[in-house]
């Protein structure tokens, strides 16, 4: 042992000890989580950890890693600790102000990119949160303009950071408005595509969520109300008001919600096109087409 204290851990030792601590705290996939934190800290990937496995961590890095592991052991999401989350190949800034983008939501982007949306068209993202949908679509389709709406001014601050980060701020207009409101501006019947990942968790389901979600994600971004369907009853009429004739609507759904939401769309003048399952086979993305301009 050095007279100044124990020698810093090697990368392999740090990974092993970090995974053990996370595992004892009940964190799922503890080795994967420990590796992700270490990769983020060192600016490398898993291959880089293998190459550097016998190298000792710098003192400052070792101290930071210990803090990060302690925070993750307390069930704080790793995305909040490192401050970013990858979505559809892009890195997004995230914190407690916004919902952490989920892999399931990438299905909305896949469905949107599969549509033949004309160049120069307007796309509306209802409940933009971090801006992951609006910004990614603007990046992948530089010929589109995007209207990104959220009722939370704090969430829009994060979305603005992400739009600037990816160089699309000039084509993504951020507007603060609730689903039940018509956003200020001349948007009526102008959107060729409306997409939304609205809150769809019921109040009863909220209590059973993992602590990473229940204690750290903004509740209003997840919980719709007693049934979990309340937000759809506001999103669908707003989408009808925004959409052009023959425009499309894409919605992310929760488990078991496809039938009820499909009925709601039919009553509001939308024609069902498809319901796309996620990787677990759960009906996740609903695709509808507008038959007439909303009131």
Same domain, 263 and 164: yes
Cβ atoms 62, 41 nearer than 8 A: no
Closest CA to 78 of 20, 32, 25: 32
1 pLDDT more than 50: no
| Number of residues written out for the chain | 295
For residue 291, the model assigns a pLDDT of 75
User: Does residue 88 sit within a domain?
Assistant: no
Please tell me whether residues 35 and 128 are part of one structural domain.
Answer: no
Tens digits of per-residue pLDDT, 26-70? 999 999 999 999 999 999 999 999 999 999 999 999 999 999 999
Is residue 136 assigned to a domain?
Answer: yes
Q: Is the pLDDT of residue 80 over 50?
A: yes
**Are 208 and 136 found together in one domain?**
yes
Among 53, 43, 122, 132, residue whose Cα is nearest residue 86: 132
* Cα–Cα dist 229/99, whole Å: 18
Confidence of residue 2 (pLDDT cuts 50, 70, 90): very low
Task: State the maximum Cα–Cα separation within the chain, in Å, rounded to a whole number.
Answer: 79
pLDDT surpassing 90 at residue 282: yes
The pLDDT value recorded for residue 268 is 87
- Tokens of residue 151, six digits: 């009722």
Q: Write the CA distances from 1 to 4, 6, 7, 8, 17, integer angstroms.
A: 8, 5, 7, 10, 19
Residue 5 lies in a domain: no
Identify the burial level of 115 via C-beta atoms within 10 angstroms of its C-beta, where 0-12 means exposed, 13-18 middle and 19 or more buried: middle
Among 199, 124, 136, 131, smallest CA distance to 160 is for: 131
Both tokens assigned to 291: 């038959």
Tokens found for residue 43: 């600016």
- 127 and 44 in a single domain? The answer is no
Same domain, 153 and 21: no
Residue 2 in domain: no
Chain position carrying tokens 């001014």:
153
Judge contact between 133 and 107, C-beta under 8 A: no
* Residues in CB range of 120: below 8 A, 6 or more apart: 143, 144, 145
- Phi and psi for 227 in degrees, rounded to 5? -100, -20
For 111, phi and psi rounded to 5 degrees? Answer: -65, -40
238 shares a domain with 108: yes
- Residue 214 located in a structural domain: yes
pLDDT at position 103: 93
1 domain residue, yes or no? no
Asked whether residue 220 is assigned to any structural domain, the reply reads: yes
**295 pLDDT exceeds 50?**
no
Q: Are residues 21 and 122 in the same domain?
A: no
Q: What is the dihedral of CA 65, 71, 77, 82, to 10 degrees?
A: -30
Range of the domain at 28: 11-74
Instruction: Note whether 108 and 33 are same-domain residues.
Output: no
Q: What is the per-residue burial (b if ≥16 Cβ within 10 Å, else e) of 167-177?
A: ebbebbbbbeb
Q: Are residues 186 and 235 in the same domain?
A: yes
The answer on 182 and 220 residing in a single domain is: yes
Spell out a b/e string for 228-240, using b for 16 or more CB atoms within 10 Å of the CB, else e.
Answer: bbbbbbbbbbbbb
Q: Are residues 105 and 195 in the same domain?
A: yes
Q: Phi, psi (5° rounding) for residue 255?
A: -60, 130
CATH number at residue 111: 3.40.50.150
- What residues does 242 pair with on adjacent strands? none
Same-domain pairing of 178 and 60: no
> How many domains does one find in the chain?
2
Whole-number Å distance between alpha carbons of 100 and 87: 10
Is 267 inside any structural domain? Answer: yes
7-25 mean pLDDT: 94
* Residues paired with residue 149 on neighbouring β-strands, in sequence order: 126, 175
Average pLDDT along the chain: 94
């Amino acid at each position: 042992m050095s007279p100044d204290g124990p020698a810093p851990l090697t990368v392999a030792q740090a990974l092993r000890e970090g995974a053990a601590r996370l595992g004892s705290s009940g964190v799922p996939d503890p080795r994967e989580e420990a590796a992700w934190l270490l990769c983020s800290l060192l600016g490398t990937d898993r291959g880089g950890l293998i190459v550097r496995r016998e190298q000792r961590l710098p003192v400052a890095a070792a101290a930071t890693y210990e803090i990060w592991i302690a925070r993750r052991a307390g069930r704080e999401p790793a995305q909040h600790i490192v401050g970013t989350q990858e979505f559809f190949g892009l890195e997004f800034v995230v914190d407690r102000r916004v919902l952490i983008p989920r892999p399931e939501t990438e299905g909305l982007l896949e469905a949107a990119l599969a549509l033949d949306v004309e160049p120069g068209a307007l796309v509306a993202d209802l409940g933009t949160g971090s801006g992951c949908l609006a910004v990614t679509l603007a990046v992948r389709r530089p010929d589109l303009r995007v209207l990104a709406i959220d009722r939370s001014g704090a969430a829009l601050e994060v979305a603005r950071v992400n739009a600037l980060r990816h160089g699309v701020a000039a084509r993504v207009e951020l507007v603060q408005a609730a689903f039940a409101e018509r956003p200020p501006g001349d948007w009526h019947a102008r959107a060729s595509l409306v997409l939304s990942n609205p809150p769809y968790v019921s109040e009863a389901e909220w209590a059973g969520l993992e602590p990473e979600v229940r204690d750290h994600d903004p509740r209003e971004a997840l919980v719709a109300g007693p049934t979990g369907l309340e937000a759809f009853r506001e999103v669908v009429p707003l989408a009808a008001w925004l959409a052009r004739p023959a425009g499309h609507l894409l919605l992310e759904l929760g488990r078991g919600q496809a039938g009820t939401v499909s009925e709601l769309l039919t009553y509001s003048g939308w024609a069902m096109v498809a319901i796309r399952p996620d990787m677990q086979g759960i009906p996740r993305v609903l695709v509808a087409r507008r038959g007439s301009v909303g009131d």
